Each structure stands twice: as C-alpha cells, then as structure tokens.
Amino acid sequence: MKLPAFLAGDAMSNRVVPATGFTAALTVISAAAMAFLAVFTIALAQASSALAARWEAELAGTATVRITAPEEAVEAQTQAVLVALSQTPGIGSARRLDTDEQTRLLAPWFGSDLPLETLRLPVLIEVSEAGEGPDINGLKQRLAAEAPGAVYDTHGRWRAPLIEAASRLRQLGILSLVLIASVTGAIIALAASAALAANAQIVDVLRLVGARDGWITRAFVRRFTLRAFFGALAGTVVAMVFVALIPGGVEAGVLSGLGFRGAEWLWPLVVPVAAGIIAWGATYLAAIRRLRQSA
C-alpha cells in the first residue's frame, strides 16, 4: 500500500477500529510519554558527548609541571624548569601560576576563603605544547637532573577517563533508546490485541461478508500507526519546549550544555517517525497473530 492511500484510508476501514476507548488513549499516551523520554535521552547523550569533547580539547596540547621541593630550593628549581622548558622544542609557552590562580583552582573543592599562606602548596607551571609536542622522555630526564622535585604531567590520566566516560554515556543513551522503543512496541502491541479481542464479533462478521484478513489488518495498522505518530509528535513538541527552556550558561552548572544547537534540533523530529514505524510493525504482528488464532 502506498503512503498517501495508507494515510487516507477509507470510510469502511475507519469504522472497523473504534476511534475512542481505552486502547486509543493507551496508545496515544504511551507514545507521547515515550517520545518525551526519548527526546531528553537524545539531549542528555549529546550534551555529555559535547562536554567530554570540550574537556578533552581543553586538556589536549597542555601540560603542567608540579614542583615540590624544600623551601630553600623551590625558587632555584622553578627557574631551572622555566629555562629547560624555554629551550625544549615542542614547548609553545610556559608560565608560573600565581597565588590567586591557585586559589581559583582549589576553590571548587575547598572554597574561596582557603588560607593558602598557611599551606605549602607546590609550584605549578602551566605549559602549552606546540606542533607535535616535546620529547616527553627526554624532557623528564632533564628535569629529573636539574630539578628533582619537578613532575611533568601531560594530563593523560585525565583525558583517558573522559574519553571512556563519553563512550559509556553514548552506549547508555543508545541502550535507553532501544529500551524505550521496545516498551513502546510492547504497549502498542498489547493495545492492538485488546482492540482486536474487543471487536472480535465485528471481525467475524466482516469475514462472513467476504473481508480478507489483510484488509482487516491494514485497518488496525493504519489507526494505531497514526495514533502512535501523533501521540509521539505531541510528546516530542512538549519535550523540545522543556529543553529550550532549560537555562544555559556557566551559572547553570551541569545543565549548561543540555539542549540542541542549530541543526541538532532536527534530531527530535526523528522520534515521531520512529514511533510510527514501531507502531506499524507491532500492530501488524499483533493483528496477524490474533487473526490466525481466531480463524
């Protein structure tokens, strides 16, 4: 059956499936609820991936030198490290972090009123790598000889968990969408089976007057597919409105990246189409099975 004819249907087939009732409400509400959850799942998956990518990009090409040495040797080792970094190919720039910058770095964990003057914090040197970066092993050997208290950190131990976390979150998002689709299909199949059972006498009469099972199946498939599509469309629109209303910016914290940007707003529109396809398959299988049992 072609799509225009499927959408239009005919007057007789429209009378086979009741336009209202428990199964109609169940199909529409379940499709809307699952579409709402699907849109938020897509938004969360995209936000987590974008956040991990941003953090990885910020850490890539940077390094930190931490100097922990006796108080009388700190300045000498700091100058030795700065000289070594300035003479190393692959190092773009290097600068020592001042007390205010260290306070801001520690503020998320200890608060902004941390008395740094009473603590012996290590000296931190921020390094920006250039090109392919320096010879890490050679640089570490030089620092070990000239500044034994210096440790060159490429942030690799921070990047690897971020990449793994982003991958796990994407997998979790895909799994969640599969579960949502499965539950939607199961609910619609149960609703279609219930509708067929409730209209068993009508189906029997239609068979007696010559209606084929294929025609009866198409009548149910069309009605439930359209119910699921429009229910999912309503749920998608509501979810998109909620996502658009979520505050952005740094002050929003973990919610700052939640939402869609530009062409990403097209992704939620796939949800109603997917709901219609799932409803078509679930109703078709349920109708075929029910009609065979009552044959």
Q: Is the pLDDT of residue 12 over 60?
A: no
* N residues, the chain: 295
Q: What is the pTM of this model?
A: 0.68
pLDDT, tens digit (0-9, with 9 covering 90-100), for 81-108:
999 988 888 888 888 888 778 777 777 6
Cα-to-chain-centroid distance, residue 218: 36
Percent of the chain surpassing pLDDT 70 = 79
Average confidence (pLDDT) over 22-48 = 88
Cα dihedral 32→33→37→42 (10° resolution): -10
Q: Is the pLDDT of residue 46 over 60?
A: yes
pLDDT, tens digit (0-9, with 9 covering 90-100), for 159-173:
777 777 777 888 888
Q: Is the pLDDT of residue 251 over 60?
A: no
Q: Is the pLDDT of residue 20 over 90?
A: no
Please write down the HEC assignment for all residues of the chain: CCHHHHHHCCHHHHHHCCCCCHHHHHHHHHHHHHHHHHHHHHHHHHHHHHHHHHHHHHHCCEEEEEECCCHHHHHHHHHHHHHHHHCCCCEEEEEECCHHHHHHHHHHHHCCCCCHHHCCCCEEEEEEECCCCCCHHHHHHHHHHHCCCEEEECCHHHHHHHHHHHHHHHHHHHHHHHHHHHHHHHHHHHHHHHHHHHCHHHHHHHHHCCCCHHHHHHHHHHHHHHHHHHHHHHHHHHHHHHHHHCCCCHHHHHHHHCCCCHHHHHHHHHHHHHHHHHHHHHHHHHHHHHHHHCC
Do residues 221 and 213 lie in contact, with contact meaning Cβ atoms separated by under 8 Å? no
Average confidence (pLDDT) over 11-25 = 65
- Give the closest residue to 88 by CA, choosing from 122, 29, 133: 133
Q: Is the pLDDT of residue 77 over 60?
A: yes
Domain borders along the chain are 3-56+160-293, 69-148
Do residues 275 and 228 lie in contact, with contact meaning Cβ atoms separated by under 8 Å? yes
